[in-house]
Amino acid sequence: MTVLDALQASLADEHAALYTYGVLGARTSQATSPALFETLTSGYRRHRARRDQLLLMVRDAGGEPVAAEVAYDLDGSLLRPPQLERAAADLEAASVEGLLALVAQSTGSVREWALTEATWSAVWRLQLGETAETWPGAPELDRA
Give tens-digit pLDDT for 5-62: 999 999 999 999 999 999 999 988 899 889 999 999 999 999 999 999 999 999 999 9
Helices (H) and strands (E) in the chain, counts: 4, 0
Measured CA to CA, the distance from residue 69 to residue 47 in angstroms comes to 16
pLDDT digits (tens, 9 = 90+) for 59-109: 999 999 999 999 898 877 767 888 888 899 999 999 999 999 999 999 999
In angstroms and rounded to an integer, the radius of gyration of the C-alpha atoms of the chain is 15
Q: What is the pTM of this model?
A: 0.88
Transcribe 31-98 into DSSP letters.
Answer: TT-HHHHHHHHHHHHHHHHHHHHHHHHHHHTT-PPPPPPS-----TT--SHHHHHHHHHHHHHHHHHH
Using CB atoms within 10 Å of the CB of residue 86, give its burial: 0 to 12 exposed, 13 to 18 middle, 19+ buried.
middle
Please tell me the predicted confidence (pLDDT) of residue 133: 74
